[in-house]
A and B are shown apart, each in its own frame.
Chain A
Amino acid sequence: MIRRAVVLLVILAAFAMVAPVLAPYGAGDAFRDFLHAPPMRPHLDGLSPRVHPLVLADRLEQRFEPDRSRSVKLPWVERDEHAPVFLMGADDFGRDVLSRLLYGARTSIGLALVATLGAVLIGAFAGAFAGYQGGWIDDAIMRIADFVLVLPAIYVVLVLRAMLPLVLPATTVFLLISWIFVVVGWPFVAKGVRGIVAAEAGREYVQAARSLGASPLRILTVHLIPACAGHLVVQATLLLPAYILAEATLSFIGLGFPDPVASWGTMLAGAGNYNAVSRFPWTLTPALAIFAVVLATNLVAANDAPRSR
């Protein structure tokens, strides 16, 4: 499982970085004449894929119809500002859902990765320190970890986020939310690390290192934390989808990123009401993206179960 989990994490990180490059339009490019335009179906004209441009059939109902007499090339090949191509439809500002989904991948997966990295680092050090020191330090750190674990994480995130000013610039939001996520995530990592370190600290190789005069910091970073690598990878694969979901939840209720920023949560926030869901279901595509990421992590985790039995 560990190798597959590493592969998945690398793929997601690479996807988050590359995704915006693949987007045909900018995340904020709004086409005012195409509010809630439906997804357009490409067809083959010879060998090159073409799309019939949309014409507004009824402004009041926001109904569009494809103009079969004309066809335009896909936006990656040739961009026509008057006949934009929405392969996954457009949202309430006339922005391309596909482009925002790809830009949103950078925000949502990027935030989750940063928070995961933070939680794994802090959790590893807190857990290793507790396990290595033992005594009251161990007790204190683990009591705090247990307390955080008992609480339903989304409420802790909610309270901590609501405590901060509600309107903030996007980069500040990114940093604040990743810190909040680290606060609720580190105990999951720390508990396992503490157990492994406490068990390993008595082993011969640690005694050997100590008798050679290695400092506690060196023993922790060079010998003990690498012993937890498997546990750290497993926890990272579990935290990542949870963080993506938490961002979506926060942005959905309006405590996440401010609107022009594309994230899977902000996109769902515009799509989540009854009217939008029934009339413009293509705006729900970020929910499918979240489903896909969670499914991928579950598949990585699940295929392992029969062998461990």
Chain B
Amino acid sequence: MGRYLARRLAFALLLVLVVSSSALLLTRLAPGDFAAEQGLDLDAASRERLRLDLGLDQPIAQQYLSWLGGVVRFDFGTSLLYSRPVSAIVGERAVNTAVLAAIALIVATLVGVPLGIYSGTSTGPGRSIVRTLSIIGLSVPPLVGSLALVFVAARTGWFPVGGMTSSASGALSATEWLADLARHLPLPALALALPLAASLERLQSEAIAAASHESFVAASRARGVDRMRTILHHAWPVSLRPVLGFYGVMIGSLFSGSFIVEVVTSWPGLGRLMFDALKARDMFLVAGCAATGALFLAAGTLVADLLLAYTDPRVRSGERR
């Protein structure tokens, strides 16, 4: 177990380093730099001065090495766009994205898994209704879902649209702020959770249907254990493997999905920040965002794999399935 963890941690570190380095270098090599993207109100001379001040004229190797030197000391440089330390900006935004992703993940789990258990074990008409709803849900990618929900919100006024809190949130107390956040959260979280809940429902449904055919399920029923208890205590744990395996995949989907949801609903998260940083050629901010994203990704897949190992000892020992 120790070796397994060490190998995974080494991989995570490598992933963060490679992703953030390539993001930095690609942004540096791209045509145009931060000074060139500063609009038309800057004449050529002040553009040059800005370049000198920010050190944009230095050779690429020197820039990269000094950035790397900072990263070792957890100093990710200063954002050119916001003139603040990258770690501070990225930290704020990463929390917002994490809140959105976590809520979406919880909603998707609470909706998808029970529905999957139901549709995989029942034979009634509810089964095909759930299945149909799932296939429709699978077909609503976050871009389409968030636009549809913005339309619904605009027409009905059920949810506020745009941002994480109302503009006057500065004057609110902590509880009022939380209530405000809770009103802004459903729309983006729902758009993000819908296709994931549908995927989970399909997976869980197929897995538990397969597990229900195992002989120990029949044996438990034959001994007179009631149906509900057999499903939940005997069939469900066995069917968890493919479902938990999907959580590793879902971390990536959450990230990809949250980008467009953040753009459509103006959620101030990591995705929007990275997009703004890319457009402004703010290479340090781009690298910081990429590093944080890679860290989330590595941590997410690690947690998913550990969950998998917890339910299946074969993975723990490194044995192939």
Contacts and interface: CB of A to CB of B under 8 A. Distances in A.
Contacts of B135: 295, 298-299, 302
Nearest to B155: A278
A175 to B, nearest CB: 17
Contacts of B301: 150
Interface stretch (B43-51, B65-73, B140-148, B223-231): B140-148
Interface of B: 15, 18-19, 23, 26-27, 29-32, 135-136, 138-141, 143-144, 147-148, 150-151, 154-155, 161-162, 202, 206, 209-210, 252-253, 255-256, 259-260, 263-264, 271, 274-275, 278-279, 286, 290, 293, 297, 301
B275 A253 contact: yes
B30 A152 contact: no
Contacts of A159: 23, 26-27, 278, 286, 290
B293 A155 contact: yes
A172 B202 CA distance: 40
Nearest to A295: B139
A309 interface: yes
The dominant DSSP class at the A interface is helix
B320 to A, nearest CB: 13
A110 to B, nearest CB: 19
Contact of B256 (A147, A154, A299): A154
A164 B32 CA distance: 9
Contact of A155 (B206, B255, B263): B255
B263 A277 contact: no
Interface string A123-154: 00000000000000000000000010011111
Contacts of B209: 309
Contacts of B139: 291, 294-295, 298
A252 B263 contact: yes
Contacts of B279: 162, 166
Contact of A278 (B31, B148, B154): B154
Contact of A305 (B31, B162, B206, B293): B206
